[in-house]
Amino acid sequence: MSQKLRRLFQRASITHRPLFLPYICLGYPNYKASLESAKAALRAGAAALELGVPFSDPIADGPTLQKATHLSLQNGTKFADVFRMIRDLRQSGFQQPLLVMTYLNLVEQWGWEEFAGALAQSGGDGAIIPDLPLEQFPFFKPFLQKENLSLIPFIAPTSTPERAKLADAQGAPFLYYVSVTGVTGARKSLPSELVPALRSLKNRLKTPLVVGFGISTPGQAAQVGKAADGVIIASALVQLISKTKAPHIGKAVEGFCKQVVKALHKQ
Amino acid sequence: MVALRELIEAYAEAQKDPKFKREFQDYLTEYDGRPTPLTFAANMTRALKGARIYLKREDLNHTGAHKINNCLGQILLAKRMGKKRIIAETGAGQHGVATATVCALFGLQCEVFMGEEDVRRQALNVFRMKLLGAQVHAVSSGTKTLKDAMSEAIRDWVTNVRTTYYLIGSTAGPHPYPMIVRDFQKVIGEEARRQIQKKAGRLPDALVACVNGGSNAIGLFYPFIKDKKVRMVGVEAAGDGVKTKRHAATMEKGKPGVLHGSYSYVLQDLDGQIAETHSISAGLDYPGVGPEHAWLRDTGRADYVSVTDKQALEAFQALARQEGILPALESSHAVYQAMKIAPRMSKNSILIVNLSGRGDKDVNTVLERLGSKLQGGRP
C-alpha cells in the first residue's frame, strides 16, 4: 500500500487532527478549472485528494455529481486525463496523496495491470471504486499492491460486524465510511446515529475511518471529525464550483477548504 | 451487499419451501392464466415451406407479456421478506405495468422509475401504471432511458434498503437477480417442452427468442440447455443496422464489462463509457445482456444474431396477416429470424418461437413507420 497514506494517518492519530480529503471532479467544468480546483484544495491544507473520473452510469452518485460528471464527459474528458492531472499536480510540487475515484467498468477496460502501472507512474497513491465489492478485493488488490498502491474498502451503516471486520482486514490505509444509506449529495443534517456508530466502529476496528456522503459544511465536518480520522466532501464542493465563475473557482475552492480544515483543527 | 445477501438468503429459503412454490404456481394458473398455449403456426409454416413453426404464446399472459411471470414470483418473495415498498425500473413500460399489477394485487406501495424519454414515448403505459396505483418517476439523468432508470432504481434501493424491495424485470443487475428472474421465467421453457412432446412426441430442433436483458429467452432456453440437439438462437435488436451507431446488438458489438453489478457483454466505448442504444422496440434498448446469455454464447451452446428495425416490422406484418396475431415489436425480431431459418430446415423439423408479448402497445409506432404505405385487403 501507499506508505504516504499510511504515514499520513499515523500522524493524524498522534496529533488528533482529523484529515480533510476533498473530492474534485475531473474535467468539471473543464480540465483547466478542475486542475485549478485541485491545486487550490491542496494549498488550503487538504491532506489528500479524491480525483473523480466521470462514468456514464454513476450508480453511487446523487444529482449533483451526476450532473457534473455528465457535463465533464460531454466536454470530452477521457480516463487518461486523470493521469495527466496527477502528473500536473506533482510537477507543481504537491506531495499529498492522490486517490483516483472511479467505477469498476472503466478500470476493467483499461486493464488492472495497466491501470496500476499508469497510476503509479504518474505519481498517484491508490484507488476508490464504489461498485467493487469487498468479495472481489482478492482478485484485484494484488495489481495495486504490486505498485505500492492502496485500494480503499467501503463500509456502510448497514454493514454487518463481520463485513466491517473483513474490510478492516484488507490492510488499507483507511476505510471509506458511508455516512448514510444512499448516494452522494449534500444533506441539511447528518443522521443522529452517525457519531455513536463511528465511535463504536473505532473501538472495534484498527483501520482509520474516513467519512463521506452527505457532509457539506465546515460545521458538519467538525461534528463528524469528533469521531473519525478524516472527512470527505464532494457534492458541496462541486456545487460551489458550479455557482462560481471560471476565473474565481480556485479562490472559492481554497476559501472553502481552508474553512473546513480550520473547523477540523479546532477539535 | 448486505441487501443482496439478504435477498440471496431469502430466496434460498423460499425455494426450499414447498408452500412458496405452490403459491407461485397457483398465481400463475389462477391469476396469470398459465399455461400459455403452444400454437402451431400453420399458415406461416405453409408459406415458408420449411420447419414446422410453433409459437409459445407469452402474449396471452395477463398484462400481455412474459414479464408478469417474474413479477408474480418476486412479489411473493418480497412479501415473504416483509417489504412494504416495491420499486422497479422500466423501459417501454411493460415491466412497470406488470410490477404495478402485482403490487395492486398484493396491496403494496409501488414506485416505478422510467427514463424521461420513455415516459414521453410510452405515455399510455405510464397512464396504465398510474391506473394501477403506482407512482411513476421520470428519470432525467444520462440518456433518460432504461439504463438510467435502472441506475436511479439502484440509487433509491441503497437509500431505502431497509424497507424496500427492488423488483428487477430482466436478467440484469447483480447476483442473485439474473438467477431469480431466470427461475421465475423458466416456466416458459418447461411448458413448451411438455407441450411439444405431447403434440409432436419429441423435442424441437430449434428455439428462437428475442434478447435484450434476455429474460424471455433464458426462460425458454433454460429447460433445454442439456438437450444438446436443440439449437438455441437469441435475436438482438440491430436497429438501423449493426454497422451504424444506432443499434442494441450487445453480443455482436459489445465487449465484456460491468454494468449495474453484473459482468457480461456491454455496449461501450474504448474508455468503458456505456453507449447509447437504439431499436424500434423500446423494450430492447438496454446496453447490457444477462450474464447467462454471455455464457451460452461463449460456450457455443446458443447462437446470437441480430435483426434490424425494418426486418422486425416485416415480421410484425407477416404474423398479423398470416396468423391473425400482432406480436410485440420485441418478439417480431424473433419471428423474423424464424422466418429466415425455417425455409432452410427440413419439413419435419420443429421450430419454437417465443412470442414474448403482444403488439397492441406498438401499434402507434408501427403506424408512424408504415402509415399511408400500408395497403389493406388480401391479395
Q: What is the pLDDT of residues B110-129, one digit of tens each?
A: 999 999 988 988 888 999 99
Mean pLDDT of chain B: 96
Residue A158 lies in a domain: no
CA distances from A22 to A119, A225, A232, A238, A253 (A): 19, 14, 5, 10, 10
Task: Say if residue B210's pLDDT is above 70.
Answer: yes
The pLDDT score that the predictor gives to residue A71 is 96
| ipTM for the predicted complex | 0.93
Mean pLDDT along residues B159-175: 95
Mean pLDDT of the B311-335 span:
98
Phi/psi at B87 (nearest 5 deg)? -120, 155
Q: If pLDDT is split at 50, 70 and 90, which confidence band does B378 have?
A: confident
Identify the pLDDT of residue B19.
97
Contacts of A214 (CB under 8 A, 6+ apart): A179, A180, A182, A184, A185, A186, A187, A190
Total residue count of chain B as it appears in this document: 379
Contact between chains at B257 and A109 (C-beta distance less than 8 A): yes
Residue B142 to residue A134, Cβ atoms within 8 A: no
Which pLDDT score is estimated for A68? Answer: 96
Tell me if A159 is assigned to some domain. Answer: no
Number of domains in chain A: 1
CB pair distance less than 8 Å for B2 and A158: yes
Q: Tell me the pLDDT tens digit for each residue of A223-252.
A: 999 999 999 999 999 999 999 998 999 999
- The Cα–Cα gap between A187 and B367 comes to 48
- Within a domain: A188: no
Statement: residue B261 has pLDDT above 80: yes
**Range with lowest mean pLDDT among A183-187, B135-139, B201-205, B257-261:** A183-187
Residue written as grid cell 446496453: B287
- Say if A200 falls within a structural domain: no
For residues A234 and A17, give the distance between their C-alpha atoms in angstroms, rounded to a whole number: 20
Q: Do A78 and B259 touch (CB under 8 A)?
A: no
Beta strand spans in chain A (E)? 19-25, 49-52, 98-101, 126-128, 150-151, 154-155, 175-178, 209-212, 230-233
SS3 of residue A100 by DSSP? strand
- Is some CB atom of chain A closer than 8 A to the CB atom of B144? no
Q: Which of B85, B158, B286 to mutate to test the interface with A (most CBs of A within 10 A)?
A: B158
Those residues with Cβ within 8 angstroms of residue A78's Cβ, 6 or more apart along the chain or in another chain: B271
In the predicted model, is pLDDT for residue B379 greater than 70?
Answer: no
CA–CA–CA angle B202, B206, B207 (5° rounding): 105
Q: Is residue A162 situated within a structural domain?
A: no
Which residue among B147, B158, B272 places its CB closest to the CB of A182?
A: B158
Residue A164: its pLDDT value, please?
Answer: 95
Region B206-220: mean pLDDT is 97
Query: What per-residue confidence (pLDDT) applies to A187?
Result: 78
Interatomic CA distance for residues A175 and B204, integer angstroms:
55
Number of CB pairs < 8 Å for A and B? 82
Q: How large a percentage of chain B has pLDDT more than 90? A: 90
- Asked if B257 is an interface residue toward chain A (Cβ–Cβ < 8 A), one would say yes
CATH of the domain at A122: 3.20.20.70
What is the grid cell recorded at A68?
Answer: 457534473
C-alpha torsion sign, points B193, B196, B197, B203: negative
Q: pLDDT band at residue A1, thresholds of 50, 70 and 90?
A: low
Establish if A197 belongs to a structural domain.
Answer: no
Cβ–Cβ below 8 Å for A105 and B154: no
Return residues 12-51 of A near B (CB < 8 Å): none
Does residue A58 fall inside a structural domain? yes
Residue of B nearest to A154 (CA): B1
Task: Look at B2 and A60 and tell me if their CB atoms are within 8 Å.
Answer: no
Residue A74 forms contact with B (CB below 8 Å): no
pLDDT in tens, A75-86: 999 999 999 999
* Residue A50 annotated to the active site: yes
Gap between the Cα atoms of A40 and A258, Å rounded: 10
Which pLDDT score, from 0 to 100, does residue A266 have?
A: 82
| Domain housing A108 | 3-151+230-262
pLDDT for the residue A267 = 62
Percent of chain A with pLDDT over 70: 99
Q: Specify the pLDDT at position B142.
A: 84
Q: What is the mean pLDDT of residues B84-88?
A: 97
Rounded to 5 degrees, φ, ψ at B315 are -70, -35
In a domain, A86, yes or no: yes
Torsion of the alpha carbons at B183, B203, B264 and A141, rounded to the nearest 10: 70
Average pLDDT over residues B314-332: 97
B175: confidence class by pLDDT, cuts 50, 70, 90 = very high
* Active-site residue list of B: 67, 89, 356
State the smallest CA–CA distance between residue A60 and chain B in angstroms: 7
